[in-house]
Structure 1
Amino acid sequence: MGIKVAVVGATGQVGREILRTLAEREFPAAEVAALVPGRGGGQEVSFGEERVLRVRGLEGHDFRDTDLAFFAAGEAASAAEAQRAAAAGAMVIDLSARFRLEPDVPLVVPEANAATLTRARKRRIVACPAPLAAAVAVALKPLHAIGKARRAVITGFHAVAGAGKEAMDELWAQTRGIYVNEAPPAEQFPKSIAFNLIPQVGDIGDDGFTAEERGIAAELRKLIDPDLAAVATSVRVPVFIGDAASVTVAFERPVEEKQAWAALREAPGVILLDRREEAGYATPSEVAGEDAVYVSRLRRDLTVPHGLAFWCVTDSLRKGAALNAVQVAEELLRLKLLE
């Protein structure tokens, strides 16, 4: 018997990508409900190459007939409706920040901590991390297994896709406008994003950190090791799709470069592209549409006894969001948590 699936936020970028990924990976969905917050609906979205789904409003959906619900409509929708879905018996995979740091909700990247999914039996909610935290976790986990990471310094370069379609439209309009001397004002970001870097992703708190920076550090502790000391700086960059990070890690035990290369070559979800020559590394535009986390520029950090530095990059809509959520669903199915 197939799984009855609901995708909340089906008309958004991530929701559409979830539908596409479910079809591509032939997830055993008997039925798929495409939902949007509120009472709206009426649009159509594609599911695979041949099926078209009629979008319905979330407010009237009865989750008692749903086995698995993906929530990809933002934090407000998840806060209002995800627990209702779980209470009705659906297993919820939430892509917002709403449940990520709640202690009784597993935060999961399958390549890093799939075993924690058994904890989802209680609340029937699984959280997916922020795209950049997911990418760093996939790259760091095999290295942590060798040397036990004690401290990580992350500089994250966030594509505008993470801020939604309107943000992508703004980057396009500003880029075009610069060439015709009619650049529109900044609306989606604090400053103009075209040909610029903005060292702010999320609101800045009294401690000087943004919400995204605090989130990355806390999520990595939950994904990798609760004793991991982590600090992040988040920068919005004029890239449509593809998050990247420069990561420096101090380990408890020695980790040689050859050990690290070997571990990354064998790690699930990782592609090691690291040639010590010009252009011997991965960039965001090159990994758009790809499923893996690409790791490059691996080298010793000579400022600490057991240190490594590396660069990682991934498609922020695929592994950073939709693919990770579908992989979580596949693991739930394998663990018989959807029966």
Structure 2
Amino acid sequence: MAHLSLGVLGATSSLGQALLEVISDSPLRLAALFPLILNDEEGMVEFRGEDHPEFNVEDFEWSQLRVLVNTLPDAKAVLDEAAAAGLIVIDLTGINPPGGKLAKGQVLSLPDPFAQQLATLVAPLAELGEVTQVTATGLLAVSTEGQAGIDALSGQTRALFAQTEHETAVYPKRIAYNVLGGFGVPDEGGATPEENAALALLKKQLPGDSVIDVSCVRTPHFFGHGASLTVRYAAPVEQDAIVAALKGGERVFMLQVAGEAGIAASQDAVGGDKVWVSRLRFAADGRGVTLWSVADNTRLPALAVLQLLTLIAAKE
């Protein structure tokens, strides 16, 4: 396999660290790694036992790279500049709507991690019969906002214990010991950007007349998205078929343990590569299933990037 020169904008972010960890554990070989930063103090990034210096994008020569992966918000101008220089650009932040091409001079925006989580489960279930309705509620971690969200939750928690003032710059209201019924500016229909991102991806998987409802809630925990998912069918589907489909689903892990130990928690999935599924409840009419799932919201997109990088390297 050919070697690849890779730049990671935000290599020290939670998503950037997950990406480097996933690549480090893979057979993919890099000719060079360039950790890039935006207006921060340059430091060092450890990768495969070696320290790599960070570079500010303002002074960086794009010709050194083949691919740029972005994990930082508010970097659209940098992505456009890198694409204009002929790089393959992969964005994980949702700066642009999901889509684009994996090609030189193009920006490919991957789906939101929560959308990926839902799609991973809906894909095998949709093969069992005509899906008429999907309803999902996501309990999303503050690492969705990167290090800023993590710092906001930890800082507010300390401030509450110390009985001092707390900042709310990242979130419109306090996130510590609180639940926010959405994040981001809702559209005219009341849907937030991350809800629309999930809707857009699920619509690609399902019949055009399927009813899809998605709600996203921001909860005060650091890592790991949780989701309650209900899928309804036009005709009855055997329970064993649903269980078998989920077991056979790509990157799906069925937790089958009796009692409370069989209820998956977000911490179970953190650091892993699977979408965990538990608490299957079947509709009385045989035409639906409700389940609970958890997944590492940083590793899912990191794994998707690894697949793309492997594909690029194979074509070199």
* Residue 34 (str. 1) matches residue 35 (str. 2): yes
Distance 1:150 1:157 in 2: 24
Instruction: Please name the residue that 1:116 is paired with.
Output: none
Instruction: Please name the residue that 1:315 is paired with.
Output: 296
In structure 2, do the counterparts of structure 1 residues 322 and 298 end up closer, same or farther at CA, with 3 Å as the change threshold? same
* Residue 54 (str. 1) matches residue 53 (str. 2): yes
Which of 204, 209, 213 matches 2:186?
A: 204
The CA deviation string for residues 139-182 of structure 1, in whole angstroms up to 9 with x for no partner, is 21111122243421110101011122232223223334444544
Which of 128, 135, 141 matches 2:110?
A: 128
Answer whether contact 1:37 1:58 (CA < 8 A) is retained. yes
Distance 1:253 1:98 in 2: 40
| One-letter amino acid of the counterpart of residue 54, structure 1 | P
Which of 284, 306, 310 matches 1:326?
A: 306
Answer whether contact 2:141 2:219 (CA < 8 A) is retained. yes
Which of 177, 192, 195 matches 1:195?
A: 177
In structure 2, do the counterparts of structure 1 residues 173 and 64 end up closer, same or farther at CA, with 3 Å as the change threshold? closer
| One-letter amino acid of the counterpart of residue 9, structure 1 | G
Distance 1:90 1:274 in 2: 45
Distance 1:252 1:29 in 2: 49
Distance 2:276 2:95 in 1: 28
Answer whether contact 2:237 2:286 (CA < 8 A) is retained. no
Instruction: Please name the residue that 1:93 is paired with.
Output: 90
* Residue 262 (str. 1) matches residue 244 (str. 2): yes
In structure 2, do the counterparts of structure 1 residues 202 and 249 end up closer, same or farther at CA, with 3 Å as the change threshold? same
| One-letter amino acid of the counterpart of residue 44, structure 2 | E
How is 1:138-287 mapped onto 2 (pairs within 5 angstroms)? 138-182=120-164, 184-222=166-204, 224-225=205-206, 227=208, 228-275=210-257, 277-287=259-269
Distance 1:45 1:135 in 2: 29
In structure 2, do the counterparts of structure 1 residues 281 and 3 end up closer, same or farther at CA, with 3 Å as the change threshold? same
Answer whether contact 1:243 1:316 (CA < 8 A) is retained. yes
Q: How high is the TM-score relative to the length of structure 1?
A: 0.83
Answer whether contact 2:252 2:276 (CA < 8 A) is retained. yes
Instruction: Please name the residue that 1:72 is paired with.
Output: 71
| One-letter amino acid of the counterpart of residue 45, structure 2 | V
Distance 2:104 2:3 in 1: 23
Deviation at 1:287, TM superposition (A): 1.8
**SS of alignment partner, residue 120 of structure 1:** coil
Distance 1:331 1:294 in 2: 27
Answer whether contact 1:19 1:47 (CA < 8 A) is retained. yes
- In structure 2, list runs of 5 or more residues that go unmatched: none
**SS of alignment partner, residue 203 of structure 1:** coil
In structure 2, do the counterparts of structure 1 residues 202 and 301 end up closer, same or farther at CA, with 3 Å as the change threshold? farther
Distance 1:44 1:226 in 2: 49
Q: How many residues align?
A: 314
Answer whether contact 2:283 2:289 (CA < 8 A) is retained. yes
Deviation at 1:243, TM superposition (A): 0.5
Answer whether contact 2:156 2:166 (CA < 8 A) is retained. yes
Deviation at 1:323, TM superposition (A): 2.8
Q: How high is the TM-score relative to the length of structure 2?
A: 0.89
Deviation at 1:217, TM superposition (A): 1.0
Deviation at 1:240, TM superposition (A): 0.8
Deviation at 1:252, TM superposition (A): 4.1
Answer whether contact 2:184 2:192 (CA < 8 A) is retained. yes
| One-letter amino acid of the counterpart of residue 308, structure 1 | V
Instruction: Please name the residue that 1:108 is paired with.
Output: none
Distance 1:331 1:257 in 2: 37
Deviation at 1:301, TM superposition (A): 3.1
Instruction: Please name the residue that 2:43 is paired with.
Output: 43
Deviation at 1:204, TM superposition (A): 2.4
Distance 1:171 1:330 in 2: 35
Distance 2:69 2:263 in 1: 34
Which of 263, 274, 291 matches 1:292?
A: 274
Answer whether contact 1:176 1:183 (CA < 8 A) is retained. no
In structure 2, do the counterparts of structure 1 residues 86 and 169 end up closer, same or farther at CA, with 3 Å as the change threshold? closer
In structure 2, do the counterparts of structure 1 residues 68 and 254 end up closer, same or farther at CA, with 3 Å as the change threshold? farther
